[in-house]
């Protein structure tokens, strides 16, 4: 398959999905989960201690995906490491053949396990993007020369429904200036609000590639949980009601995700599925998509 970066930069529509590394060394179930989308997605996000839960590192898991024939997008969060460790891990990713990285600040540890863990946040996402830019130019953050510089296709995240939205747009612009070339959004089900966001970033929209987030909803319960607990996510009651009345939850989940996909395809450069250990639902959506 053609590289993720090349397809995006050529203007081709891309599709990515996501996995969380295991809490342990056994990566096989994760690879098995991806079998149904192999050759059908352009890249796979590998989360970095998602929700502040300790797991196998994203760099190691990304290498495992490469060995299994997938192109990873290796996530890096700023929560758990200072700038020394972050820069070192970025260099390690480059040395091990990882070509795509995605940067985010990261959830506070009180959300995860163990909640008594101390956060670091030496850098935020903008600072880490700046550090990666310097590493790619041949120096570290202190200006010390590197003996061999990495090269990455660098991405970041954005929440189109942040309230207020203005600080999110300002931060997004800073991320662009610090080297972010593609953005993945929070899961979006509300098209009118998303169109307002697109208008708000029109001044620099041509400088980035935008992948809209889609979560295949596994149940009405999970949809309600997202509405109540995940900032920036709003799932209309009409969708929740459909899930409540579903006689085939997998089929309805895929149909809803496909409807979202169809409604936004012309306004973005790709979609990013966040299936939460349910890539079989992504496969069902892909069955409906004509690329």
Which DSSP letter does residue 118 get?
A: P
Number of domains in the chain: 1
182: pLDDT strictly greater than 70: yes
> To the nearest whole number, what is the mean pLDDT of the chain?
95
- Per DSSP bridges, beta strands 209-214 and 100-104 are unpaired
How far is C-alpha 288 from the chain's CA centre? 23
Provide the 3-class DSSP secondary structure of residue 153.
Answer: strand
Angle at CA of residue 115, ends 114 and 120, nearest 5°: 100
The candidate with the shortest Cα–Cα distance to 160, out of 126, 182, 191, 181, is 191
What's the pLDDT score for residue 111?
80
> Is there a contact between 177 and 154 (Cβ–Cβ < 8 Å)?
no
Question: How far apart are alpha carbons 180 and 103 in whole angstroms?
Answer: 9
β-bridge mates for residue 43, sequence order: 16
The tokens describing 247, both together, are 């006689």
The stretch 267-276 carries a mean pLDDT of 95
Query: If we measure between CA atoms, which residue out of 182, 185, 184 comes closest to residue 161?
Result: 185
CA angle 46, 72, 20 (to 5 degrees): 20
- The whole-model pTM stands at 0.95
Tokens matching residue 170: 């300002």
Q: For residues 33 and 279, give the distance between their C-alpha atoms in angstroms, rounded to a whole number.
A: 6
Asked whether the predicted pLDDT for residue 171 surpasses 80, the reply is: yes
43: pLDDT strictly greater than 70: yes
- Residue 217's domain spans which residues? 4-288
Stretch 177-200: mean pLDDT, rounded? 93
pLDDT of the residue at 6:
98
Q: Tell me, what's the pLDDT at 291? A: 58
The residues that bridge with 82 in the sheet, in sequence order, are none
| CATH at 35 | 3.20.20.220
Residue 12: CA atoms inside 13 Å, Cβ hemisphere, count?
A: 14
Residue range 20-41: mean pLDDT, rounded: 97
The residue written with tokens 């081709």 in the block is 12
Percentage of residues in the chain with pLDDT exceeding 70? 100
SS3 content of the chain, % helix, strand, coil (to 5): 45, 15, 40
What pLDDT does 118 receive? 94
Residue 151 has pLDDT above 70, yes or no: yes
Q: Write a three-state SS string for 51-73.
A: HHECCCCHHHHHHHHHHCCCCEE
Mean pLDDT of 39-56: 96
């Amino acid at each position: 398959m053609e590289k993720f970066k090349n397809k995006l930069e050529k203007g081709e529509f891309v599709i990515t999905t996501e996995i969380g590394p295991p809490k342990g060394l056994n990566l096989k179930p994760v690879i098995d989960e991806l079998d149904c989308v192999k050759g059908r997605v352009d890249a796979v996000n590998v989360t970095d201690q998602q929700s502040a839960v300790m797991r196998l590192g994203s760099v190691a898991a990304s290498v495992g995906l490469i060995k299994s024939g997938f192109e990873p997008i290796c996530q890096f969060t700023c929560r758990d490491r200072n700038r020394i460790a972050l820069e070192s891990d970025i260099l390690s990713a480059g040395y091990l053949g990882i070509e795509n990285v995605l940067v985010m600040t990261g959830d506070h540890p009180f959300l995860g396990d163990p909640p008594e863990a101390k956060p670091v946040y030496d850098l935020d996402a903008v600072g880490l993007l700046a550090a990666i830019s310097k590493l790619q130019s041949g120096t570290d953050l202190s200006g010390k020369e590197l003996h061999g510089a990495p090269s990455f296709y660098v991405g970041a995240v954005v929440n189109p429904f942040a309230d207020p939205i203005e600080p999110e747009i300002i931060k997004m612009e800073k991320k662009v200036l610090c080297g972010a070339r593609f953005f993945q959004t929070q899961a979006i089900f509300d098209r009118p609000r998303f169109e307002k966001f697109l208008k708000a970033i029109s001044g620099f929209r041509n400088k980035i590639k935008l992948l809209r987030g889609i979560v295949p909803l596994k149940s009405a319960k999970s949809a309600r949980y997202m509405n109540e607990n995940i900032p920036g996510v709003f799932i209309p009651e009409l969708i929740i009601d459909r899930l409540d009345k579903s006689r085939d939850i997998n089929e309805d989940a895929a149909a809803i995700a496909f409807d979202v996909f169809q409604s936004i395809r012309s306004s973005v450069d790709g979609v990013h599925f966040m299936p939460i250990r349910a890539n079989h639902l992504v496969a069902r959506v892909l069955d409906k998509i004509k690329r």
